[in-house]
Every structure is written in C-alpha cells, then in structure tokens.
Structure 1
C-alpha cells in the first residue's frame, strides 16, 4: 500500500491546479527537489576564443555598420490600365538589394541591376536610419552603380586590393538575402579571373566564391579576413546540391565608380573586331576548307571580322590575324582580349601583337568610345 506524506494528502483536497506542486517527494523512483542536478556532460570547459580565432567576427565588425539595404520602387505604365477593369494605369514594382558606404558624406556602391529603372530608392543602415537615395550613375556592362544620400559622418567600409586576392583565402559576404537584413555568410575564394562566369564576352574578371549568396545579396560587399571589401556580390549560378557566387573585383568597381562620380558615366574603349577562340582542331578545319586563312595548329585568338571604319580597321588589323598580346599582356581567349582592351584608354595607342601568316608584327591601335546603348 502506497503511503503519502501529509503534504501530498493535503494537496489531494486542494484545487486541481495545486496538484502539480511538490508531490514527487517520497514517491518511488522520483527524486525530490532537494536532490542535486545530475550532470549531462563531463567535458572540460572550453577556453575562451583567442584573438586569432575571431578574424571573421572582427572583419564583420569593421564593415557591417556600412552595409545597407536598398529598397526600390519602379513605376511601370500598364498599357491596358483603366480598360475593362484591367488594373491601374501606373503599376509599382518593388525590389530590394544591398550596398555599402564608401564615403562618409553618403556615397555608396551597389549593382546597376539593383537600381535599374528605379523611380524611388531608399537606403537603410543597420542602425535603423533611413535616407532617400539618388542614383548618380550606373554601368550595365560591369553592373556597378553609385548612389548618393544626403548625410554626413556615416560609417564607411574599407576598400582592399582585389589584385592581391588568391584562391583559398577567406571570403565573407554581407547583405540582405531574401529580405533578411545584415546576414553574414562565409566561404573561400574558389577562383579568380572568371571571364566566362555569366556568359561570354564579359568585361569583368569575376571573383568566384562558395560563400552562400542569394537574391538580395546583390550589391553587397565581399570582404576578406582583414575587414576590407574585395568585391561586389553580383551573380549566382545554382547547381544541384550547391551554388556558386561571383563578385565584381573592387579594383574594377573603384575605377568605374570614379568615372561615374567625375562625369556621370563610365567609359569603355573598343576596337571593333569579332574574335574566335582557336584550337589545333579548328585550325586544321579552317586550313582544309579555305585558302583565305593559313593558321598555325595552336591555341589562340583569331580575328574573324573587322568592322569597317573601326579602330581595328584603321590600325591595320585583318581577318585571320592571330592575336597573342594586347597592351603587353598575353591573351589566350577572346574574353582576355576584351579585358585587356578595357584596360586601355580611349584615343590612346594600344599595342596589339599578332601572327599573320608566317610573320609576326605589332600594331598600334587607338580604341574609341564604345557607343552607349539606349
């Protein structure tokens, strides 16, 4: 027969809510409140983090306050608006991205596609302050844009040197993916100089990382373990089980932003040629099918077409020329030629070394300003 303590006998006649109090005392197999707590782990205490182990924390602390959320509103004309109740004449489309402040007087960088066509731009800092932004200029070719807010003494993100970035280094992304403000993800630099990351003929040698980047991260900074911005997150490529992300090197963004601040737009030189990557197999096929070209059976970049009246035509470049250097830099594919030309200056001589038939020569071309679309 189970014997209850006087305390528990009293509780049986109390209201039901009181039955939860203290009746475990003396019951078989149930320890009373007086017993000490049984430890669930006997692992030794973990020592506090040393300074060298907080590098990501420290890096984020340097840049995080300068990373902003950018909200945009685009007003689009609905051609069927007002007819038969098919919606308003003007429709509003909302968008969101990231950016980072580079000057304490309110200059910040982001992606061109984040603010493209925006009628309204709102910039919100991590501390809650919000400002109306003005797009000073954008460059669709490199996907860089400059936005200005009226403010002073804002936190700024230190800029690094993307030319010193090497595969295997830490890569830390900060932004607002999927609307989740001030999200930090980390990985490593997977590759540099990715010229075919988002299609051929790119003017950007992208930095590739495995840091998690999602919609909303666009325009946010990619930083190193020293808290310096080394790139602007701009594109992702999804794959089963994983994703790859790409960033515009900060050296490229810095150059484009400086031009936008000086004259409202970016300058891109061009020479006016159509190029093809050459392989030994392709060279054999061309040599066998036509007498117009006699190409060496090697890897390289062959000129397929020269635009009439272009800098290339005026400088003496011809179809079937095999380009191996531009501006003193060796080139192995059309994208590298494009990047080398983009490093030149409009109207200034640019050396192009090539093989023509059995001979070699160097031409001096003067790139012209690439016509702006739209």
Structure 2
C-alpha cells in the first residue's frame, strides 16, 4: 500500500510539472493580431519637444548652396622653372571648382558667405532644390573671410540677424549648410557654443594678393562643421543668424608614424556682428538697376578707344616667390608715356596697378580689359602699390617701405601709346 502511494505521489508531481511548463512555454507561432500589436505603432509628433525642431525647419529655408566656377585657361603651368602639362586639363573649359554654403539675409536677394568659397571665381551661382541661379559678388573682405553676393532671382525668406555680442557659452548652436555639396543640402547639426572671442590667426592675402598675418575673434562651437558648410549659418534658438561657419580643426595628415593631438568637434564661426559693417556698406549703395545681372554692357566699335599711356606686364611666379607674398598681384608698370593720362596722374615705372575704380586688377590683361571698356574724358581712381625701390621693384628680394596710393586719372584718345 505504501509503495502504491509513493508511486501515485510521484506521478502527480510529474503531471503538475508538465502542466506548469506547458503554461509558461512560448507558442510555436504568433497570430496576426499579436504581430500587429508589436509593429503597428504611432508617434504623436506634437508631444515630441525640442527647442531645435521649429527653428531648424524655418531657418534652413534661408540657406542655399554656392557654386564657384572657374575656367581652365591653359593646360600648362609653371613656377619659373619651366612648364609642365596638367593631365586632363583643357584650355577654356569651365569647371566647378568648389562649393560652399550661403545665407539669404535680405528680401532683395543679398547672400552672405565666406570669401574663400568664391575666391577666383569666373562665374558664381547659388543652388537650392536642384536649381541654379546666377549670382554676382558685390563686396568682400579677405581679412575677415566674408563676401556678399547678390541674386535678384532667388526667392527665399531672409534670415533675421542676431546680436552676436549677446552670445552665451553653453547655449545651443544650430549649424545649417551643404556639407559635401548639394547631395547633403541643408544639413542640420546641433551643438553648443563652446567659447566666444577665440583668437584665430590666419595668413591671408588682401584683395590685391599681398599676404599678411591677421587675428580674428571667432565663436567656437562643437556642432559638426564639414567641407561645404563654409558660408552657411549658425543660428540660435530664436532662429537668428549669429555666426557664419568658416573652419574646423581636425586630424588631417595624422598617421601611425606621427604624434598629434586628438581633435574632435572644434569649429569656428565668424560673429554676425563682424559681418554687419560690410553688409551695411552694400545696402547703402544698393541699386538694383546697376547690377551686372540686370544690365548689358554697351559698346561702340566706331569710336576710337582712349588710352592710359603705359606699358605693363604681369610679374612672374618666381618673383612673387622671392618676395614671399609681400608684393600684390596686379599690372606691373614698365613704361609711362610722357604727357599721357598716366604721367599726369602720377603713375610711375615700378608701380603695380591693383585696382581701377574699386575693381581688383589681378594681372596686366585685367587692366587692359578695364581701360578699354571706358570712354574718353572719363575720370576714375586707380590704386597702385608703390615701394621704396621705385623702378627696381621687380628685382628686389625685400620690398621694404611700401604703400597703396590712390590716383585720379582722366582718359584721352592717344594713338601713339600702347594702352
């Protein structure tokens, strides 16, 4: 009897164990309703809160791409040591040299960007949503790395300008631009203002090509800034433009054979207050009817062209190397005709013409172009760079005392002079 009870208890225990296991075991298959419960979910976006969402969606409407087109004028290049062929280059072919970003800052079509984005451009366009629009450079400052473009056909909302003097360390920095071009159009990255008034040294060229070391005060942010972001916008949570992304620090060039500090998330932006004087100058002189995009050049082939009365050339790359950038680019004067507009204005042999009525002269061809487009009797200002070496400027290694000088010139028709 006892033996029977023992087996009966053992059987009961086994039944109970099997029953318990069966109750907790996962089913072999899920029903459609069970799958729907897991997958068919919703998000109420009205309950997702962030100070960034609304600002980013509004501010990015003012941001666009900036395209720098340049013409390959020769398939040969040299530095005074003979010439060599550039593989694949074709003379006279226009190419997209680089891209950056810009921000529309007026309802009239003014756009702020970095100067390095549009350096040496033969043609500038702005791009948004797959379309390109012609733009012109109306002002720039090489020392500040700022440029103002004008595009009357672009119809985007203007970003409100902030007061960068009121920036606080720790506030949000919302960076919007086109890293790597249009493929990543209007990319938004977010970080914090890490520091203000950071001193950043740069070796830059003035608008005439003369090099100098300058120090600018910049805003340090940890928001991601990549190639193509230059010239875009750094916004605060009010949607105001507070800075223009200009550079980032990275580990470029680091290898397993070099010892360099690890660098992450250090970007620099130009304070918008620094850009305001340049923008003010543009707006005070703004006349849409005088835009190069709004008028056609008028030429009269029957009228004899006036002359300046000089012979000029472009300094060789070797000479520019000898002076380590202390000479500007421009048209080097080697002859001044007597009783010519040039001699009457005070232009001397050894001068380098760097500007005609506010337009930069980069070489002798540019000076010829600017002079031949003018009429007899027209008076304008020529800026020259003059050194203490005088007529021997071309042969010196050390420029010494030098200065930019403004001279007033009145053109006349002179058949016996070369320009």
| TM-score bucket of the superposed structures, by smaller chain | 0.5 to 0.7
- Relative to structure 1, the CA distance from residue 30 to residue 254 in structure 2 (aligned partners, 3 Å threshold; closer, same or farther) is same
Question: Partner of 2:266 in structure 1?
Answer: 244
- TM-score w.r.t. length of structure 2: 0.50
Question: Partner of 1:77 in structure 2?
Answer: 73
- TM-score w.r.t. length of structure 1: 0.56
1:129 CA displacement: 4.5
- Relative to structure 1, the CA distance from residue 49 to residue 79 in structure 2 (aligned partners, 3 Å threshold; closer, same or farther) is same
Question: Partner of 1:220 in structure 2?
Answer: 232
1:79 CA displacement: 5.4
Question: Partner of 2:140 in structure 1?
Answer: 138
Question: Partner of 2:275 in structure 1?
Answer: 253
Question: Partner of 2:256 in structure 1?
Answer: none
> 1:127-153: CA deviations, max 9, x gaps?
x54310111121110011010112275
Structure 2 gaps of 5+ residues are 1-25, 78-82, 204-211, 252-261, 287-402, 406-419
Q: Is the 8 A contact 2:234 2:269 kept in 1?
A: yes
> 1:236-270: CA deviations, max 9, x gaps?
11143513110000000111222244469xxxxxx
Give the whole-Å Cα distance in 2 for the aligned partners of 1:204 and 1:85.
36
Give the whole-Å Cα distance in 1 for the aligned partners of 2:86 and 2:198.
49
Question: Partner of 1:207 in structure 2?
Answer: 219
Give the whole-Å Cα distance in 1 for the aligned partners of 2:116 and 2:32.
65
Question: Partner of 1:66 in structure 2?
Answer: 62
> 1:200-255: CA deviations, max 9, x gaps?
95353100000000000000000001111000000111143513110000000111
Q: Is the 8 A contact 1:188 1:210 kept in 2?
A: yes
1:183 CA displacement: 0.3
Aligned partner of residue 253 in structure 1, secondary structure: helix
Residues 9-20 of structure 1 correspond to what in structure 2 (within 5 A)?
A: none
Q: Is the 8 A contact 1:75 1:90 kept in 2?
A: yes
- Relative to structure 1, the CA distance from residue 33 to residue 184 in structure 2 (aligned partners, 3 Å threshold; closer, same or farther) is same
Residues 321-340 of structure 1 correspond to what in structure 2 (within 5 A)?
A: none
Aligned partner of residue 102 in structure 2, secondary structure: strand
Question: Partner of 2:242 in structure 1?
Answer: 230
- Relative to structure 1, the CA distance from residue 156 to residue 29 in structure 2 (aligned partners, 3 Å threshold; closer, same or farther) is same
Residues 82-93 of structure 1 correspond to what in structure 2 (within 5 A)?
A: 87-90=89-92, 92-93=95-96
Give the whole-Å Cα distance in 1 for the aligned partners of 2:140 and 2:86.
37
Q: Is the 8 A contact 2:139 2:282 kept in 1?
A: yes
Residues 333-352 of structure 1 correspond to what in structure 2 (within 5 A)?
A: none
- Relative to structure 1, the CA distance from residue 263 to residue 195 in structure 2 (aligned partners, 3 Å threshold; closer, same or farther) is farther
Q: Is the 8 A contact 1:175 1:181 kept in 2?
A: yes
The alignment status of 1:108 with 2:104, answered yes or no, reads no
Give the whole-Å Cα distance in 2 for the aligned partners of 1:198 and 1:238.
16
Structure 1 gaps of 5+ residues are 1-27, 265-369
Q: Is the 8 A contact 2:221 2:265 kept in 1?
A: no
Aligned partner of residue 252 in structure 1, secondary structure: helix
226-235 vs 86-95, greater mean Cα deviation? 86-95
1:155 CA displacement: 1.1
1:89 CA displacement: 2.4
1:56 CA displacement: 0.6
1:62 CA displacement: 2.4
179-188 vs 253-262, greater mean Cα deviation? 253-262
